Amino acid sequence: MTAYNAVIRFVQGEVPWVYLYGPPGNGKTHLAAAAVNRLIAQGRAVLFTTAPELLAMIRDGFDGGQASARAFGPSSGRGFSRAVLFRVFNARYTTRAHTLVVSNVQPDNIPKPRLRSRFLDGGLCQVVPNGAGDYSQRKSRSRIAQ
């Protein structure tokens, strides 16, 4: 299945999760943005963010409240990040909330085994490599050829 077809199926509600991966610059985020625009046009509530932005939103939420970020996990940045991301994805996994992930990391190489298992659940998640080449490099080669 192509990345485009997987995202179409996701937008149509046929697939609850899509994990789209491939090298940088090949259009994964562009495809995800198109999906988000379509979902918004359908009246769906959508959060389009990166992992660092999501973690910052969560940390900022603690700064203004009574809770401590330590409640989420280890205080080290990397440990905190992994613990929080696992909690976010695990909550979405258990509720089967629609989730589209784009990554440069092949799912087999996700370092946290419990998180990796969520993405490799074939009954929930469609894992799709995006084999398109780097758009910037293709564009540059096209200009050079002219």
Cα gap 91→1, rounded to integer Å: 27
pLDDT of residue 6: 95
| Whether pTM exceeds 0.85 | no
pLDDT value for 75: 40
What is the residue-level pLDDT of the chain in tens, covering all 146 positions? 899 999 999 999 999 999 999 999 989 999 999 999 999 999 999 999 999 999 888 888 766 554 444 444 334 457 778 888 899 999 999 999 999 999 999 999 988 899 999 999 999 999 999 987 666 655 555 556 56
* Strand pairing report for 17-21 and 99-103: parallel
* CATH number of the domain located at residue range(s) 3-145 in this protein: 3.40.50.300
